Structure formats: C-alpha cells, structure tokens
Chain A
C-alpha cells in the first residue's frame, strides 16, 4: 500500500466493480432467457465502465505508470481489494440475483453519499454511475420478489441464496484506517452510517418477497486486505490469462 490512502480507496472501488462485472459476464450466452442474458451483460458493462474509471484514478494517484488495464490484468489475488460478496460464484439464478441485489442496494447508497466528495475524481464517477446503479438495484430487487414470492422451488432457492450471502454483508459497511482517513479528508463515505438505510431497503423487499428478515451471522471479512475466498483465483485466471499470455497485444 502506498502512503496515499486515496490510492487504496480508488482501488477498492475499482476492484469491487471489476470483479462483479466479470462475474456477470460469465452469464453471457447462458442465461435462461434472452432478456435476462441482455440485462446481466448490460449490468456487467456498467460495472466494468466504473472499474475503468476508478482504476484509472488509482493509477493516476499512484503515479507509477500503471493504467486501468495494468491494474486489472497484472495484479495477483493477494493484491485485489474487492469485498468477498462480489467474488462469490454465480451459482443458480437466485444466488446471482441475491448477490446483485445486496451489492447494488449498498452501492446505490454509497454512491449517493460519494457524490458529495470533496475530490472531484470520485464525485464525478459517483454522480455518473449512481443512476445506473439505481437501475441495477431495482432490477435485482424485482427478481428477488419474483423468485421469493414465486414457486416453492424458487422460494427455497432464495432462502439458500440469502443464507449463503448474508455473512458477507457486514464487510460492506466495515470501516478501517483507509476509510477513516478518507472520511476525515472529506473525500470518503462513512459506510457504517449507511447500514440503517440499507436494512430498511432490504427488509422492505424481503417482506414483499415473502422471505424472512435475516439474523446476523458470523461475518466473513478480509477482502480489503487481500484475504479472499478460493473463488477469486479462478475468476482472475480466466480474466487475466489472455493479456498475461500475450502482453502488449493490441486489437
């Protein structure tokens, strides 16, 4: 980590978006209907667009000549700072939508707050992306309701998906030294303060979906420090293999 916490901050935002965008891309050509295939690919595109901006900002702050592509394709697992939620495997459709809904609900609140950042590089991306993220949150919440309040089978799968993902939620709101420094500087967001609004939004959707509100589980954390689940390495292998096999290749 460099001494400037804003590098780490931009990297985290970029890594979250990049990893989730790559996950959504895995559905391309495999989704159950054409509408879903298009929507997941489009959500993925928005996220990869965000990643390009944030990783570009990180590279500028670092000042060592690494651009967004270098940061995306030439770092190893231990250097990735995304939260554990976004690297979870696609699983079935209930798992993909639950992951999306939890992350997008959080991200919508986060970007709304980041718009007020004193650093224009962060505020501008947040302002641009927040409309798109609201769309993601809305679309995935619709699916949570449709599946939760659907057939006994889809309901059961949603219960499984919630059970799998809920332990990764506390990490989204956890504050560490980087977050504290960025909040003090007027650049970052007090994530812990977003939790009540998140719970209110999530519970409203769960109620509508006839799904139970979730009890706290033992939280799993560590993504921000590079301690990842076994799933991230496989994702990176797929994502990074072409640029690493053919460095400096151009279209």
Chain B
C-alpha cells in the first residue's frame, strides 16, 4: 500500500474510534480518554484504565463492533499494559467534555504520590475552588465524590491516577 493510503486508513480508523463512547461516561470517546495506544491498518492497541475496571470488556466489544460496522473487520483489537494508563493521557478535549458534563477533570501532571487529590477541585457548576471531598470512592472506580462549599453542588471528580 502506498504511504498516503496507509495514513488514510489510520485516520479512518481513528475517526471510527472517536465515535466509540466510554460506557460509564458517555460524553467522552475512547480517544478522549487516552486508552488507545496505537493504531495501524492491522491492529488497534488499547490499555485498561484500572486493572479491574469492569468497563474494559465492554469497551473492547464496542470498539470491535464499531470497526466491523465501518468495514474494518480485519483490524484486530488487542490489549496492552505498558506503559500504564494515567489520567495524564486524557486529552484536553476530553477534559473539557468532562467538565461540561459535570465531572471535575483530574489535574494534569499531578505527582503520583498525591493520590488523595490533595489539591482543591474546581466546581464544574460555579467554578469555585472552595470544595471538599465527601467520599474517596464514587460511582465508578475512577471517580471520587466531592461537594462545592460555595454553591453546594455535589459532583464527581476524576481521581488522579
């Protein structure tokens, strides 16, 4: 295949992946989430967010279905562990979508030691940083439950990971 066509195939596959939603947070795609490690004509490599995240199998099935529907039946989907995913892999576009959806995005480049989300979260409703953690575990493994002291809005915060 000439180089130009290979690039076209990869971007076509990427375009398909942009339409595959995260099953738990349907406003962001698997591309926004940063779990797609590599794309070529023969293979899409994805990586799990958390080791035991129950959404991983669903995500793989959704990607398979989307590729098949777009005519990429021959493109394999495989899972890789390295390098491990961290919240830094969430794209800027993904962060903006999370915020608009009411989930405080994780700070970028946070020290791996700051697992407690030590810094204040910005309230996705009113923008105040006067917020507090209510529960370190929220509706999914990747989120903690926070509340805004200014407007009282309870909200999910994506954990630094």
- Assess whether B116 is in contact with A34, with CB atoms less than 8 Å apart: no
- Assess whether B52 is in contact with A138, with CB atoms less than 8 Å apart: no
Q: CA–CA, A48 to B136, complex, Å?
A: 20
Q: Which residues of chain A are near B135, meaning CB under 8 Å?
A: 34-35, 38-39
Q: Which residues of chain B are near A44, meaning CB under 8 Å?
A: 52
Q: CA–CA, A34 to B50, complex, Å?
A: 21
- Assess whether A127 is in contact with B82, with CB atoms less than 8 Å apart: yes
A113-143 interface code vs B (CB 8 A; 1 in, 0 out): 0000000100111011101101100110000
Q: Which residues of chain A are near B52, meaning CB under 8 Å?
A: 21, 44-50, 52
- Assess whether A49 is in contact with B51, with CB atoms less than 8 Å apart: yes
- Of all chain A residues, the one with the shortest Cβ separation from B56 is A49
B100-117 interface code vs A (CB 8 A; 1 in, 0 out): 000000000000100110
Please give the distance in Å from B128's CB to the nearest CB on chain A. 23
Please give the distance in Å from B157's CB to the nearest CB on chain A. 14
Most buried by A among B52, B116, B135, B136: B52
- Is A53 part of the contact surface with B, judged by Cβ < 8 Å? yes
A74-95 interface code vs B (CB 8 A; 1 in, 0 out): 0000000000000000000000
- Is A229 part of the contact surface with B, judged by Cβ < 8 Å? no
Please give the distance in Å from A27's CB to the nearest CB on chain B. 13
What are some 19 contacts across the A-B interface (CB < 8 A)? A38-B135, A38-B137, A38-B138, A39-B137, A42-B137, A42-B141, A45-B54, A46-B50, A46-B51, A50-B52, A120-B82, A127-B81, A127-B84, A128-B82, A129-B51, A131-B161, A132-B50, A134-B115, A135-B115
Closest 9 CB pairs of A and B: A49-B52, A49-B51, A45-B52, A38-B137, A35-B135, A124-B81, A128-B84, A39-B137, A124-B82
Residues of chain B touching chain A, judged by Cβ–Cβ distance below 8 Å, are 48, 50-54, 81-84, 86, 112, 115-116, 134-138, 141, 161
